[in-house]
Amino acid sequence: MVQMLRHFGPNWFTVGMGTGITALGAYLYPGAPGWLREAGTVLWLFNTLLVGLFLILIHLRMLLDRPGMKAILHDPVQSMFWGAMPMALTTVVNGFVDMGPGVFGPVAVQVAFVVWVANVAMAVVAGIVVPYMMFIRQDHALDRLTGIWLIPVVPAEVVAASGSLLIPHVVGLEAQRTLLLISMGLWALSVPLAFLILGFLFLRLALHKLPPKEMAASTWISLGTLGTGVMGLVGLGRYMPLVFGTLGQAMAGGSVLAALMLWGFGLWWLAISILLTLHYLKRGMPFNLGWWGLTFPLGVFTGGTDFLYRQLGDWLLQDMARGLFVMLAVFWLVVAVRTVVGLVRRCAWVTGGVPHAQRLAAGRAS
């Protein structure tokens, strides 16, 4: 049991991130036909079970393999994926708000709120503890910097955007104001630090060129930072008049303007990410779990584009949101199939490969 758990780390939550955001994208697709919304709901239910299983496995490892978990926290790469846990769980929370009432009834929103509170705690811990470990324990250098530095930092803004979905479901103006202020604080806790890392990432790419091919998909993570920033600004901006009164009307407009700026920056990162991925593919891009980094960032940027469309009603934004979702669906399908094939091969290797050969050799020796 412990031996099996040692192969499970927080990086597996990237599967839940990518699958969950694809499910939400299918359900919220502008003008989505009924079958696509149903497919999104089914995929969300599957992802909810998947993320639940991952949470059980990671907590079991915490109980049974404490040295291994401590080693992950000290590792300069694996430790970053602690931020994947709250981001994967956010897709579950959002699904309970959007799809849950149709499946489970009004209790779904109550479940979403409870899980969101726990998710806030995980996002804040990841955003503080992992950078702290970077400062006192881990070995880093500018030429080894990649987009995965953003993974523990971004969850707070992801959770903030999720909080905007819960505000209209909270009873009482005072409670809505409190939830809005908490969500705004979470957004502010994440975005400035994320932009600091983006600046260093640009410098690293210019001075030291591309990361190794095993980290190729990490170039997409920056796009996710901007996508969730857009979703947070638009989503929270709608409710700013609740806290700031008349001033809030102007702040809501300013939030949309700032969101458009982030969205434009995201288009630049999207173009760069596509070009860099093509560059890697020509030179060989080995498959690993890092390929799930192609899905969640693109998914949240798609969501940010959809948020802007619903706020501004522009047909160009609608068409872009649709096109981005098609790209997301293709990415998810490719990565999901490759992941399943890899798992099957790994299981076949474990059950019929080396251990089996060792047993045969032992039999011959006797």
Written in H, E and C, the secondary structure of the chain is: CHHHHCCCCHHHHHHHHHHHHHHHHHHHCCCCCHHHHHHHHHHHHHHHHHHHHHHHHHHHHHHHCHHHHHHHHHCCCHHHHHHHHHHHHHHHHHHHHHCHHHHHCCHHHHHHHHHHHHHHHHHHHHHHHHHHHHHHCCCCCHHHCCHHHHCCCCHHHHHHHHHHHHHHHCCCHHHHHHHHHHHHHHHHHHHHHHHHHHHHHHHHHHHHCCCCHHHHHHHHHHHHHHHHHHHHHHHHHCCHHHHHCHHHHHHHHHHHHHHHHHHHHHHHHHHHHHHHHHHHHHHCCCCCHHHHHHCHHHHHHHHHHHHHHHHHCCHHHHHHHHHHHHHHHHHHHHHHHHHHHHHHHHHHHHHHCHHHHHHHHHHHHC
Q: Residue 178 and residue 99: Cα distance in Å, rounded?
A: 25
Q: Residue 148 and residue 82: Cα distance in Å, rounded?
A: 11
| Structural contact between residues 93 and 120, judged by C-beta atoms closer than 8 angstroms | no
Q: Residue 120 and residue 126: Cα distance in Å, rounded?
A: 10
| Model pTM score | 0.93
Q: Residue 34 and residue 225: Cα distance in Å, rounded?
A: 30
Query: For each successive 10 residues of the chain (366 residues), what is the average pLDDT?
Result: 78 97 97 96 98 96 92 95 97 97 96 97 97 96 95 97 95 93 96 96 95 93 96 95 90 96 97 96 91 96 96 95 97 96 75 45 36
Q: Residue 159 and residue 116: Cα distance in Å, rounded?
A: 8
Alpha-carbon distance values, 55 to 48, 113, 179 (Å): 11, 18, 26
- Could you tell me the two tokens for 209? 């060129």
CATH classification of 2-342 is 1.50.10.150, yes or no? yes
Tell me the domain boundaries of the chain. 2-342
pLDDT at site 360: 34
pLDDT at site 366: 32
User: DSSP character for 212?
Assistant: P
pLDDT at site 342: 86
pLDDT at site 349: 60
| Structural contact between residues 41 and 103, judged by C-beta atoms closer than 8 angstroms | yes
pLDDT at site 2: 65
| Structural contact between residues 23 and 297, judged by C-beta atoms closer than 8 angstroms | no
The predicted-structure confidence for 12-39, as pLDDT tens digits, reads as follows 999 999 999 999 999 999 999 999 999 9
Q: Residue 308 and residue 314: Cα distance in Å, rounded?
A: 8
DSSP of 52-110 = HHHHHHHHHHHHH-HHHHHHHHH-TTGGGGGGHHHHHHHHHHHHHHHTHHHHH-THHHH
Closest by CA position to 322, among listed 33, 47, 19: 33
Using a 10 angstrom Cβ sphere, with 0-12 exposed, 13-18 middle and 19 or more buried, the burial of residue 60 is middle
